[in-house]
Amino acid sequence: MNVPTLLAFSLYLILMLAIGVFFYLRTKNLSDYILGGRQLNGAVAALSAGASDMSGWLLLGLPGAIYASGLNNAWIGIGLIIGAFLNWQFVARPLRVYTELSGDSITLPDFLENRFNDTSRLLRLTSASVILIFFTIYTSAGLVGGAILFEKTFSLDYNMALWIGTIVIVSYTFLGGFMAVSWTDFFQGILMFLALMVIPIYAMSQIGGWEATLETVHGINPDYIDIFSGMSLFSITSLMVWGLGYFGQPHILARFMSVKSPSSIPMAQLIGMIWMILSLTGAVLTGLIGIAYFSEVPLANPETVFIALNQAIMNPWIGGLLLAAILSAIMSTVDSQLLVSSSTIAEDFYRKMLHKNAQQKHLVWIGRAAVVGIALIAVILASDRESSVLDLVAYAWGGFGAAFGPVIILSLFWKRMTRNGALSGMISGAITVIIWKQLQGGVFDMYEILPGFVISSCCIIIASLLDKRPEKAIETEFEKAKKAY
């Protein structure tokens, strides 16, 4: 076993646990546990939104795709950057303001029910169920990724690796809730950023600089350095629309809702966008430099390009720490999804449906129990890494984007929207994504989030206009919120 790497990993894991214990002592009520009592510092919100958004894809998937077929894979990154920017610019502040104004909503289902004064509980039940099912599977897929990393790095048995990873993530999430998750995400975000800056820059200097790198890559295949190679307007659009997913991701929107003050959002946006742009640039460069570095003996698995470069060029002590960045990327996504699922159980099902007058201390422990329960289900699912249930993850980004994205945007900006409009948008967006994904060829090769988003938006507008006008109290609350945007 590699001692420096083991020590670096251990140090990193101990830091995560210490953060969990620190915030355990500061958690007093359910709002603290699942939304940090809306006291999140702007910089932490920025980096934790970025880190929880970017899973292992940032350090494994994207560099691997660039390594395998060149710069034309950068389109997805450009689309994501534009989507994240629009989300910060147009959704963050209104969502922060409106969720607090509308019954101090602490989850998305909570907000939707309060926003439309839905006494039937249909909106809450539908949205909470979708979040719970998909995030449990998402969490499980993340645990599989983390376990495979442990398995390969330390030659550990897969199941042993799965349990170690799960125990660490569950421990700090269980103890410290949202603040622990956000602060661990913050440090994980810094580590991911450093790794994606250090590795490509250092590797490029080893090869002989930018021009030498470019020349080697060009010599292997000139198409690798052309962003338009093999691309049509259709395929570019299909990659760029991934950015639409941001508007409906509950774990990212939760960061907006938790920021200490709406006035701290612009600075958070600036920090978040710089982090994202530089990290994605680093990931693209890692893939490109990998092509040049491993030109004589190409890698069998393109997704290992970051790990292979790290092993080839870095001192084992620094390399061990940078390798922990991959674990950071995976953990920062898993912990956020785990907490959102737990908040759905504690707030949306338990408090609102079963035990309305439960004491805050009691609710916090329900939240903690939910973290453990969901993690256990996720581990059981993850114990069979080939399980077909995990394939459902492929639906999650597009499904959340299309089901929740238009509902959230229109609920923030369109006064005439109704409960039935929201419900039809959510259902039609999800169904479109599921059906579109089964079909292939021609127009069906477009990434399903685009048709899902369009159809959901149309359904919201049509169903709302066919419905009777919202009650006066709802319109008054909307006007009040809009003034504060």
Partner 1 sequence: MSEVSLSLATWFWLIVPQSLIIVLSIANYFVQRKKPLQ
Closest distance between partner 1 and the C-beta of residue 224, in Å?
11
Tokens of residue 124, six digits: 């809450």
Q: How many CB atoms lie within 10 A of CB 462?
A: 14
Choice between 264 and 344, CB closer to partner 1: 264
Binding residues among 265-284 for partner 1 as defined by CB under 8 A:
265-267, 269-270, 273-274, 277, 281, 284
Choice between 79 and 302, CB closer to partner 1: 79
Query: Is there a contact between 177 and 21 (Cβ–Cβ < 8 Å)?
Result: no
Query: Is there a contact between 107 and 347 (Cβ–Cβ < 8 Å)?
Result: yes
Sole binder of partner 1 in the list 30, 47, 71, 95 (CB under 8 A): 71
Q: Please classify residue 117 by burial: count the beta carbons closer than 10 Å to its beta carbon, then call 0-12 exposed, 13-18 middle and 19+ buried.
A: middle
Give CA–CA dist 305/47, Å, rounded: 25
Binding residues among 276-335 for partner 1 as defined by CB under 8 A:
277, 281, 284
Q: Using CB under 8 A as the criterion, what x/- string covers residues 335-354 for binding partner 1?
A: --------------------
434 binds partner 1 per the rule CB under 8 A = no
As a whole number of Å, the end-to-end CA separation of the chain is 54
The crossing angle, in degrees rounded to 10, of helices 210-220 and 158-207 is 110
Q: Is the dihedral of CA 415, 113, 101, 92 positive or negative?
A: negative
Give CA–CA dist 142/55, Å, rounded: 8
Give CA–CA dist 179/33, Å, rounded: 7
226 binds partner 1 per the rule CB under 8 A = yes
Q: Judged by CB under 8 A, which stretch of 51-59, 124-132, 220-228, 362-370 contacts partner 1?
A: 220-228
231 binds partner 1 per the rule CB under 8 A = no
Sole binder of partner 1 in the list 261, 295, 315, 359 (CB under 8 A): 261
Give CA–CA dist 342/250, Å, rounded: 12
Q: Judged by CB under 8 A, which stretch of 76-84, 294-302, 344-352, 436-444 contacts partner 1?
A: 76-84
Contacts of 483 (CB under 8 A, 6+ apart): none
Residue positions counted in the chain: 485
201 binds partner 1 per the rule CB under 8 A = no
Closest distance between partner 1 and the C-beta of residue 273, in Å?
5
Closest distance between partner 1 and the C-beta of residue 247, in Å?
16
197 binds partner 1 per the rule CB under 8 A = no
Residues found near partner 1 in the complex (CB under 8 A): 71, 74-75, 78, 81-82, 85, 88-89, 93, 211-212, 214-215, 218, 225-228, 261-263, 265-267, 269-270, 273-274, 277, 281, 284, 483-484
